[in-house]
Every structure is written in C-alpha cells, then in structure tokens.
Amino acid sequence: MKLNYRFRDPALAQLALTHRSIGRPNNERLEFLGDALLGAIIAELLYEVHPRSNEGELSRLRAQLVNGQALAVIARELELGDELKLGPGELKTGGFRRDSILADAFEALVAAVYLDDGFDACRAVVRGLFGERIAALRRSSKDAKTRLQEHLQAGGWPLPIYELTASHGEDHAKTFDVSCTIGEPFPLTAECRGGSRRAAEQDAAEIVLNQLLEQQRKP
C-alpha cells in the first residue's frame, strides 16, 4: 500500500481493507464514516480554491472528485487491491479489481486514519491525495460535455448520446435523470440526476470521460 501515512494502530488499516464478504468485523462502518469525512474535507478544499463558485457549481465539482469511479482510481494508485481481504466468492470474481469495492475500501481507509490520529491527520492525507486533482479541475475551463466531445473527435470516434431517462417531482422542484453513452473506443454508460437536464448531462459526461481515460491508461 502506497498511502503516505504510518498507522499507530495497524489493525485499523487491516479492518479498512476487510470486505464484508469475509464476515464480521468488516469495513462497512468505517466506509460510512470515511464517506462523510471525505465529503467534508473535499468541500472545504473546493470552498478555498473556488471562492467565486456558487453552491451548485461546488456540488458538481465535488461530485467529479468523490464518486465511485474517481475513488477507485485513487485506490488503484495506492495499490489497495493487493491488500484487500475478500471472501472466496469475491476472490473468484475478481473483486479486488471492482470499482465499488476499491472505492469503499478507500473511504474506509480515510476513516481509519481519522480514528488513528484525529481530524488534522486525516485532512492532511486527503489534501495530499486530492490537491493536484483539484488544481487540474481549476485549470480546466471547459465543461465536461465539451471535453468528452473533443476527446472523442480527436480519436475519430462517434459523439456521445445523451438521453433523458426520467424526471421527478413538481414543476417548481423537478429533477432529471440523464444517461450519457458512448460506443467507441469502449462501450460506456453513466446515468446522473440533476436539478436541470444540463447539469445531469454534465455530471454523466464527466463520469464517462473519467472511465474512458482510465480504460485508455490500462496497458
């Protein structure tokens, strides 16, 4: 594991990497705590870095950074998959490669750092992992739909397809479910919900673009 932190209590790290398929104890409670800690620390960072952004813009930026796919990328960078404790069924089906399991383990590890040495230590670890990612978001002036379109065009691939799959609520407070799908160079789909169709499309495009870039980085 490549986490830049030394645990005082190594048992906390082991628990964070123990999937529920093992039985009890496992990392589910740590995952719950880590999710809340991560959301708060990333919100604090974005609040500092984007002083002119409104609540909706900050929420969209946080969603780009704190989602299953994005957290799984960090988990792979930390090589958490090699350290996971999985039950026989998950081992057979390659659970150590699954985004959801990796993301959950990363969240649990954030909570383990917090329990091991307090909030300041946890904040330092999270800031170290996300600082460059937030800086990259700040440097990017183009929205997710534009970046996805340009990336596909550069490769000579078809443009994404956006589809409104559902809408919910009264007219004054409606939310929209939108899917973004590409067929090449990899078949990928993401579905997001937003307070406007455009916002949902942007979030779905961001997830598809992140998935696509991750696939293209693989050997």
* Per-residue model confidence as pLDDT tens digits over 170-218: 877 789 999 999 999 999 999 999 888 998 999 999 999 989 988 888 7
Task: For the chain, give the percent of residues with pLDDT over 70.
Answer: 97
CA 187 to chain centre: 20
- Domain 10-139: CATH superfamily is Ribonuclease III domain (1.10.1520.10)
Residues 160, 147 contacting (CB under 8 angstroms): no
The set of catalytic residues is 35, 107
pTM above 0.85, yes or no: no
How high is the pLDDT of residue 173? Answer: 79
Confidence of residue 138 (pLDDT cuts 50, 70, 90): low
Q: How many helices (H) and strands (E) does the chain have?
A: 8, 3
Strand partners, 177: 166, 193
End-to-end CA distance of the chain: 21
Q: What DSSP character marks residue 159?
A: P
Residues 29/30/36/42 CA torsion (nearest 10 deg)? -160
Question: Which backbone phi and psi does 18 adopt, to 5 degrees?
Answer: -100, 110
Residue 79 annotated as lining a ligand binding site: no
Q: Please name which of 126, 134, 114, 111 lies closest in space to residue 35, comparing C-alpha atoms.
A: 111
Sheet holding 188-194, edge to edge: 161-168, 175-182, 188-194
Residues 2, 79 contacting (CB under 8 angstroms): yes
Q: Provide the sign of the torsion angle of the four alpha carbons 92, 93, 97, 102, taken in this order.
A: negative
Tokens 């379109």 — which residue?
149
Residue 99 annotated as lining a ligand binding site: no
Domain ranges for the chain: 10-139, 144-217
How high is the pLDDT of residue 139? Answer: 54
CA distance 99 to 69: 6
| 144-217: CATH, from 3.20.20.80, 3.30.160.20, 3.40.50.300, 3.40.50.1700 | 3.30.160.20
Lowest mean pLDDT among 8-12, 24-28, 160-164, 168-172: 168-172
More confident residue, 90 or 116: 116
Residues 78, 3 contacting (CB under 8 angstroms): yes
Residue 31 annotated as lining a ligand binding site: yes
Confidence of residue 51 (pLDDT cuts 50, 70, 90): confident
